[in-house]
Amino acid sequence: MDARLNPAEFLGLGDGDAHVIRNAGGSANDGINSIVVSQRLLGTQNIAVIHHTDCGMATFTPPLLHAKVLAETPGEAAEAELNKLEFRTFTDLDQSVREDVSLLQGHPLVFTTEGSVSGWVYETSTGKVRRVV
């Protein structure tokens, strides 16, 4: 989701090489719908979970965001919708990658084989990608 980053560029991908699913915090949980479509209808076999350093999701807590949203959008309907959302903030970047890989490996709707789901961190300061799992 981070507009500063271009995954196709730092991964050396051309148009049509990969389905890139982006969301706040790189949350695998938030990408499940798109992953299912990508695998079942488009034949995707491998999944690379990529988070990045200097991520905004490591800078706040869900209660802080809830308070901000409700202050700006008061009302029972807004609160009910907000309570349906799960903001997956984190303090340990590598652990968040491991958790997302584990979630995908154990999800009943995601096709996985040995080594088909990997986890990576893009280092914004160096432009390098390092493997976590």
45 vs 2: CA distance, rounded Å: 25
CA dihedral of 10, 14, 15, 18, whole degrees rounded to 10: -70
Q: Which residues are annotated as a binding site?
A: 2, 52, 55
What is the chain's pLDDT, residue by residue, as a tens digit (133 residues)? Answer: 999 999 999 999 999 999 999 999 999 999 999 999 999 999 999 999 999 999 999 999 999 999 999 999 999 999 999 999 999 999 999 999 999 999 999 999 999 999 999 999 999 999 999 999 9
- Domains annotated on the chain, with CATH: 7-61+90-131 (3.40.1050.10)
Q: Which residues are annotated as a binding site for Zn(2+)?
A: 2, 52, 55
Report the predicted TM-score, pTM, of the whole model to 2 decimal places: 0.93
